[in-house]
Amino acid sequence: MELMKNVQAWTEGVEVEWDALQQIRNIAGLPILAGHVAVMPDVHLGKGATVGTVLPTRGAIIPAAVGVDIGCGMAALRTELQAAQLPESLAAVRAAIEAAVPVGFDIHDAEINPTHEGPHGRDLRAKMQALFARFEKLAILTALRRVDARRIWRQLGTLGGGNHFIELCLDEGGTVWIMLHSGSRNIGKTIGEAAIGMAREAAHRAGVALPDKDLAWLNEGTAEFGQYVEALQWAQDYAALNRELMLFRVLNALRAALRHPVKLTAQVVNCHHNYATVEEHFGAKVWITRKGAVSAREGQLGIIPGSMGTRSYIVRGRGNPLAYCSCSHGAGRRMSRGAAKRMFDLEALAAQTRGVECRKDEGVLDEIPGAYKDIDTVMAAQADLVEVVHTLKQVLCVKG
């Protein structure tokens, strides 16, 4: 569906707020675009660019479109555990997960050391060592001035706050899945903010008139662009490793809490939804920025979460070229955090998360399911982008 000139949207039956439409219009008029803007059904207002948008650009990247949680995304693994093997109360399991994975602003007391037996532990340690070696060579570090390296490595394997979460879910056959949402933590934010500042300065020097200062871009071939791309790719790898480390810490916590082995199946998914990469579309290689969108090439597995009390989906991409082979990254917010706190109370939170072992206090009120769009409507709007492989229902949710 064409929402406006130079825009293709998958928003049939989904509400899109006026401010988000204005942002989309601003993006669609940028001279660096290498094609139309693709709008996902979870679209909502963001910083500079709307969340739930796919941008093709030629010879440039908009750092604010990538965002400050570089590489934020989802990970899920399927266990061989069945619903009947879970205890009636999951409170002890939630406590074990919260003890294994720091949430909110908390970090590990020391650098995390993968102790998992077999190839998983060795593979994770090798990835960590590779990240360490690349970090000191990042050219953008001079722009970041002082960075606390100890904090960076102690934040690996931590959740964060906001809409980041860890869940235990049951699929349609009653099999238990571990699913989580997190990104590159404070170092990704630091890199993102530095790059946004560099882009604004570059636009000012060049006298570029912008509808929004956060739509400033960095041009390929400049020193700033090279520094950002190097750091961007590093932060995306950091985010993916962060999720891997948490998956296996949660798995070990689950084993300890249940006091019996929990085996894995071969099905593990780890996907970004805030990132930029070079891809080929319509016969040309371009930069694709997915701000709140997931790669959905034909046959590619992805994760589309709902909210803490609804459903989530493991999906397989259909490779729709008009969407740049993408899909939504979730249900998408239908109201701001402040509006959610004004509209809902703790009674509503308890009702909307009934049957889910999770926090039900003021600290997570802005994450109430009612603050999000209806996940079924969002999924119906993108039926030509993905097919559903598994439908997951949360039974436990940990939030920062």
Helix (H, G, I), strand (E, B) or coil at 351: helix
Q: Would you state the pLDDT for residue 144?
A: 83
pLDDT for 203: 97
SS3 content of the chain, % helix, strand, coil (to 5): 35, 25, 35
Digit-coded pLDDT (tens) for 200-255: 999 999 999 999 999 999 999 999 999 999 999 999 999 999 999 999 999 999 99
pLDDT exceeds 90 at position 4: no
Residues 304-331 have a mean pLDDT of 96
**Minimal CA–CA distance to 328: which of 296, 281, 367?**
296
- pLDDT category, 309, cuts 50, 70, 90? confident
Which residues are marked as active site? Answer: 329
> SS3 for 243-299, per residue?
HHHHHHHHHHHHHHHHCCCCCEEEEEEEEECEEEEEEEECCEEEEEEEECEEECCCC
Amino acid 173: pLDDT? 97
Q: What is the rounded end-to-end Cα distance, in angstroms, of the chain?
A: 37
How high is the pLDDT of residue 1?
Answer: 57
pLDDT at 117 over 60: no
C-alpha angle 304-308-310 in degrees, rounded to nearest 5:
65
User: With bands split at pLDDT 50, 70 and 90, how would you rate the model's confidence at 28?
Assistant: very high
What does the block give as tokens for 29? 């008029």
Which residue bears the tokens 């266990």? 79
Residue 146: the pLDDT is 76
pLDDT tens-place string over residues 44-97: 999 889 999 999 999 999 999 999 999 999 999 999 999 999 999 999 999 999
Cross-strand partners of 291 = 53, 274
CA count, 13 A, side-chain hemisphere, 50:
32
* DSSP strand pairing (264-272 vs 7-9): unpaired
Residue 286 has what pLDDT?
Answer: 98
Q: HSE of 107 in the Cβ direction (CA atoms, 13 Å)?
A: 14
Total residue length of the chain: 400
CA 335 to CA 172: how far, in whole Å?
Answer: 30
Q: Which DSSP category does 237 fall into?
A: H
Mean per-residue pLDDT for 352-367?
A: 94
Q: What is the mean pLDDT of the chain?
A: 94
The reported pLDDT for the residue numbered 120 is: 78
What percentage of the chain exceeds 90 in pLDDT?
Answer: 86
- The label of the residue with tokens 């999951």 reads 90
- Whole-number pLDDT of residue 3: 65
* SS3 category, 350: helix
| 44/301 Cα distance (integer angstroms) | 24
Strand duo 7-9 + 301-304: pairing? unpaired
Q: What is the pLDDT of residue 265?
A: 84
pLDDT band at 115 (very low <50, low <70, confident <90, very high): low
According to the model, what pLDDT value does residue 143 have? Answer: 81
pLDDT at 322: 98
| pTM for this predicted structure | 0.95
Q: What integer pLDDT is reported at residue 2 of this predicted model?
A: 58
Q: What is residue 77's three-state secondary structure?
A: strand
pLDDT at 175 over 60: yes
- Average of per-residue pLDDT across 279-283: 98
Encoded tokens for 236: 């995306």
pLDDT score for 87: 96
Nearest CA among 291, 306, 276, 294 for reference residue 385: 294
Q: Locate the domains of the chain by residue range.
A: 7-334+372-399
pLDDT at 181: 98
Q: How many CB atoms lie within 10 A of CB 11?
A: 20
**Which architecture does CATH list for 7-334+372-399?**
Alpha-Beta Complex (3.90)
